[in-house]
């Protein structure tokens, strides 16, 4: 088996974010579930955009954010995901390549527009996401670049892909290619509602097919239908080889069949926007993992990257994470 030439390849929905501040009253009036992600169609996207405040456009997509973070840490990273042949698609591709990520998925011609996510950030820094999936779910098995997946030490998959059957099939296929090549498969559960929609499928997939699972407290509790984090943590033990459970300001816990390691959250002067916190935690953890660091080191690096991303608007790093890691003695 050849040594991997790429650290992590991410597969996910290729999305451009539109971030705007919103009052709590706006969230209520629009009947949104704060802190979660809702799928919306193009008409709803147009109407909601009309009513929301002045925005910032920035490349997003959960796995793409993670991959951009890995590149910013100095890792070799690649991405597979579908945009349309339009302006936002060009912005998405530019931003990813500009961070040093290998991104070669062919854009979609003549179909829906590039996916966008309308993100409302409330004064408590929570983000409420409304996604029009557009071209991102026209993604299918043929878009999986087998040689990329075989060359990557870790293939990282976002749970959001489960929302469409074609993407889900491509997702399973990527996992199989990776394992056949002797590589690792990582999955993030993405959102508690996403887990709700696909609970049985996720449980099946995790048992035996996922080596490194990422989930936050709400997601892991949803997966095992409990309100008790300790019970959920017990339930996941041994299901995935490594389960990385993030708990916002309560830090993170890494669980394996025999072991459990917890690290605190990294300090943040002012939490501005929590968009991308989980995505960037995964960047730090996976970068450390592909460098052979121990779990505590990996989780501390994850916490450091998450702290950077929540200190400003948007889900892509504003500083070179490699420098940040070096300063913190975690390079």
Which positions touch its own copies (CB under 8 A)? 20-21, 49-50, 52-59, 68, 86-88, 91, 94-96, 98-99, 312-314, 316, 318-319
Using the minimum distance from each CB to its own copies, give the nearer residue, 53 or 264.
Answer: 53
Nearest approach in angstroms of CB 325 to its own copies is 17
Using the minimum distance from each CB to its own copies, give the nearer residue, 123 or 329.
Answer: 123
One-character DSSP codes across 113-126: PPEEEEEEEPTTS-
The per-residue b/e assignment along 285-314, b for 16 or more CB within 10 angstroms, e otherwise, is bbbbbbbebebebbbbbbbbbbbbbbbbbb
Identify the CA nearest to 158 among candidates 147, 150, 170.
170
Using the minimum distance from each CB to its own copies, give the nearer residue, 41 or 318.
Answer: 318
Identify the CA nearest to 99 among candidates 120, 80, 113, 78.
78
Nearest approach in angstroms of CB 288 to its own copies is 23
Nearest approach in angstroms of CB 304 to its own copies is 18
Nearest approach in angstroms of CB 222 to its own copies is 32
Using the minimum distance from each CB to its own copies, give the nearer residue, 48 or 80.
Answer: 48
Using the minimum distance from each CB to its own copies, give the nearer residue, 46 or 180.
Answer: 46
Nearest approach in angstroms of CB 316 to its own copies is 6
Using the minimum distance from each CB to its own copies, give the nearer residue, 21 or 248.
Answer: 21
Nearest approach in angstroms of CB 271 to its own copies is 14
CB 278 within 8 A of CB 258: no
One-character DSSP codes across 98-156: HTT-EE-PPPB-SSSPPEEEEEEEPTTS-EEEEEE-GGGGG--GGG--HHHHHHEEEEE
Percent helix / strand / coil, the chain, rounded to 5: 45, 20, 35
């Amino acid at each position: 088996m050849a040594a991997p030439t790429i650290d992590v390849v991410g597969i996910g929905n290729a999305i451009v974010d539109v971030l705007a501040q919103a009052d709590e009253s706006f969230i209520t009036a629009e009947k949104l579930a704060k802190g979660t992600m809702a799928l919306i169609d193009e008409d709803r996207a147009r109407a909601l955009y009309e009513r929301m405040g002045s925005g910032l456009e920035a490349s997003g997509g959960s796995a793409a954010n993670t991959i951009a973070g890995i590149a910013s840490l100095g890792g070799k990273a690649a991405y597979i995901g579908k945009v349309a042949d339009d302006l936002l698609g060009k912005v998405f591709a530019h931003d990813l390549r500009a961070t040093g990520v290998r991104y070669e998925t062919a854009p979609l011609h003549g179909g829906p527009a590039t996916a966008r996510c309308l993100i409302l950030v409330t004064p408590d820094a929570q983000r409420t996401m409304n996604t029009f999936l557009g071209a991102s779910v026209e993604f299918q098995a043929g878009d999986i670049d087998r040689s990329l997946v075989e060359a990557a030490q870790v293939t990282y998959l976002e749970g959001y892909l489960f929302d469409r059957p074609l993407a889900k099939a491509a997702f399973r296929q990527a996992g199989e290619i990776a394992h056949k090549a002797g590589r690792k498969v990582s999955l993030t559960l993405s959102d508690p509602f996403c887990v709700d929609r696909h609970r049985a499928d996720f449980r099946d997939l995790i048992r035996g097919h996922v080596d490194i699972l990422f989930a936050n407290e709400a997601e892991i509790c949803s997966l095992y239908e409990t309100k008790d984090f300790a019970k959920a943590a017990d339930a996941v033990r041994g299901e995935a080889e490594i389960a990385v459970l993030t708990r916002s300001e309560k830090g993170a816990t890494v669980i394996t069949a025999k072991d459990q390691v917890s690290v605190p959250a990294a300090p943040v002067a002012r939490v501005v926007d929590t968009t991308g916190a989980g995505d960037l935690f995964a960047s730090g953890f996976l970068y450390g993992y592909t460098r052979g660091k121990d779990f505590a080191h990996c989780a501390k690096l994850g916490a450091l990257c998450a702290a950077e991303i929540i200190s400003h608007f948007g889900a892509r790093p504003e500083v070179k994470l490699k420098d940040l890691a070096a300063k913190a003695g975690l390079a």
